[in-house]
Amino acid sequence: MTFIPPLLYIISAILFILGIKGLSKATTARRGNATSSVGMLLAVVATLISTGVVEVQWIIVGAAAGALIGFLAARLVQMTGMPEMVALFNGFGGLASLLVGWGTYQGAADNALVGLGNFAANPSEFLASLGGSFSSATIFAAILIGGVTFTGSLIAWGKLSGTITQKPVLFFGQNVVNSLIVLAILAGGVWFTINPDYYWVAIAATGAALIMGIMVVIPIGGGDMPVVISLLNSYSGLAACAAGFVIRNNLLIITGALVGASGIILTNIMCKAMNRSLINVLFSGFGSGTGGGGGAGIQGEAKSMQPSDAYYILEAASSVVVIPGYGMAVAQAQHAVRELAEALEANGAEVKYAIHPVAGRMPGHMNVLLAEANVSYDQLVEMDSINPSMDTQDVAIVIGANDVVNPAAHEDEGSPIYGMPIIDAEKARTCFILKRSMASGFAGIDNPLFFKEKSYMIFGDAKATVESLVGEFKESAA
């Protein structure tokens, strides 16, 4: 029966890879999620069998508890709270890896009769009980990366939920302090790898890792949260990979590497979408919420329009582009938006949804919202595909998006987002902007799109506004 765990590990690894591939498209995302879930179930069973823990009642209890928590999270957490939940999931993954590293280290210490705060009587014997310098290095890596991921994710959760300020928290000498912490961690890592019997080094390293997680994320503003979420997801995978080396579990190494690599790739995609480097995201303090658009300032007067008047323009339109943002999630307007699109299509218009890679508060946020409303994946168009034809579109409807359509990215060299690729909503023949007020977006940067000649503000709750437009179409058809 010893061949069963390795076989289940191989099957699980294949299912994980197929699951990740399935998540690349909205049409196969559910199947991909289910495939990965089955792979995880097999992985847990294989691990329990390989360690000799085969008491069925505990497997059932653990599976039931996890299923209940997952079910409640999926059913009760609103779509607007999904980014915060993802941040917490990343953090818990990091914490699990940290605990695995500590558990292994403590177990070896107990076997070598090392007391808390005391040095080992025989350091070489203790190092051998861990499995050598490589094992001590992986234990340190699991603790370090797991700690950074845990506290960093908690800060990200706080910024996303508004529990703490969304602005960058900066202070004099911050980079110097961070550099000193990094140097201390590196020195501690070398020391711990060679002499793991110094218990206080492990304790100090854990504390430094937890502090480093906070220091890495607090200088990052709200506008960069999608990048932070994907980066922390990568960290959680790397921590799991290190934990896999710690407990010599090949499947954990494979899955951790998969998550780590996919997270890095996604982070790179997000950075390219913002035309910025990862170093710039981590250390520039972008999204400070200063409320300024840069050096030039904004000139002009915004024009407003009522939904009843906007209807006549939409009724005559032959092509409409919907540009969703986080405001659509807050208003829970995605279902109403789909109804409006259906009414426009019934009236003879072609409707597309322009999706910016960093729209919303996490990667793929808008795709998830629209998929929830059963919007056809074929109607979703990426930024690079829609921009060349934007000047041929009769109407662009911006729903709760701000930073991803901000012309300051092209026009104002003093703007923090200058050079960032945006969706060129201003080039449409008419641009409707659905917002509650003239307030700036999540990045805290004013938007000159509001004052463009072809732009019209439609103030109010986005869902109510869209429902009013749908009502106008229904009344006209009756």
Q: Is residue 120 located within the same domain as residue 60?
A: no
CB atoms within 10 A of CB 1: 5
- Most confident stretch, 47-61, 186-200, 421-435: 421-435
Residue 323: band (very low, low, confident or very high) from pLDDT cuts 50, 70, 90: very high
Residue 95: C-alpha distances to residues 159, 366, 381 (Å): 19, 29, 38
Q: Is residue 103 located within the same domain as residue 161?
A: yes
Q: Is residue 71 located within the same domain as residue 83?
A: no
Q: Is residue 115 located within the same domain as residue 27?
A: no
Q: Is residue 236 located within the same domain as residue 364?
A: no
Q: Is residue 212 located within the same domain as residue 275?
A: yes
Contact 460, 437 (CB under 8 A): no
* pLDDT number for residue 420: 84
* pLDDT number for residue 62: 78
The mean-pLDDT minimum among 77-86, 172-181, 395-404 falls in: 77-86
Average pLDDT in the 172-181 region?
85
Q: Is residue 95 located within the same domain as residue 65?
A: no
* pLDDT number for residue 125: 64
Q: Which residue has the higher pLDDT, 90 or 29?
A: 90
* pLDDT number for residue 129: 67
Q: Is residue 113 located within the same domain as residue 244?
A: yes
In the structure encoding, which two tokens stand for residue 299, read together? 């000139």
Q: Is 130 inside a domain boundary?
A: yes
* pLDDT number for residue 55: 66
Residue 264: C-alpha distances to residues 15, 171, 232, 259, 261 (Å): 21, 28, 9, 9, 5
Q: Is the pLDDT of residue 294 over 60?
A: no
- pLDDT tens figures, 404-440: 898 888 887 777 778 888 899 999 999 999 988 887 7
* pLDDT number for residue 141: 92
pTM of the model: 0.77
Q: Is 290 inside a domain boundary?
A: no
Average pLDDT in the 23-48 region?
84
Residue 213 belongs to domain spanning: 78-283
Average pLDDT in the 75-90 region?
82
Q: Is the pLDDT of residue 176 over 90?
A: no
Q: How far apart are CA 4 and CA 8, in angstroms?
A: 6
Q: Which residue has the higher pLDDT, 141 or 197?
A: 141
Boundary residue ending a domain (76, 93, 121): 76
Average pLDDT in the 441-464 region?
85
Looking at every residue in the chain, the average pLDDT score rounds to: 83
CB atoms within 10 A of CB 329: 27
Q: How far apart are CA 58 and CA 62, in angstroms?
A: 6
Q: Is 297 inside a domain boundary?
A: no
Q: Is residue 45 located within the same domain as residue 130?
A: no
Q: Is 301 inside a domain boundary?
A: no
- pLDDT tens figures, 99-116: 998 888 877 766 665 554
* pLDDT number for residue 441: 66
* pLDDT number for residue 230: 86
Q: Is 155 inside a domain boundary?
A: yes
Q: Which residue has the higher pLDDT, 236 or 5?
A: 236
Catalytic residue numbers read 403
In the structure encoding, which two tokens stand for residue 164, read together? 């703490």
* pLDDT number for residue 376: 85
Boundary residue ending a domain (48, 76, 104): 76
Q: Is residue 222 located within the same domain as residue 265?
A: yes
- pLDDT tens figures, 144-163: 999 999 999 999 998 888 78
Number of compact structural domains in the chain: 3
Q: Is 252 inside a domain boundary?
A: yes
Percent of the chain having pLDDT more than 90? 28
Say if residue 56 is exposed, middle or buried (CB neighbours under 10 Å; 0-12, 13-18, 19+). Answer: exposed
Q: Is the pLDDT of residue 286 over 60?
A: no
Average pLDDT in the 376-389 region?
89
Q: Is 98 inside a domain boundary?
A: yes
Q: Is 379 inside a domain boundary?
A: yes
Tokens 């890495």 correspond to 216
Q: Is the pLDDT of residue 124 over 50?
A: yes
Percent of the chain having pLDDT more than 70? 87
Residue 345: band (very low, low, confident or very high) from pLDDT cuts 50, 70, 90: very high
Q: Is the pLDDT of residue 467 over 90?
A: yes
Strand order in the sheet with 395-399: 380-382, 350-355, 319-324, 395-399, 430-435, 455-459
Q: Is residue 391 located within the same domain as residue 269?
A: no
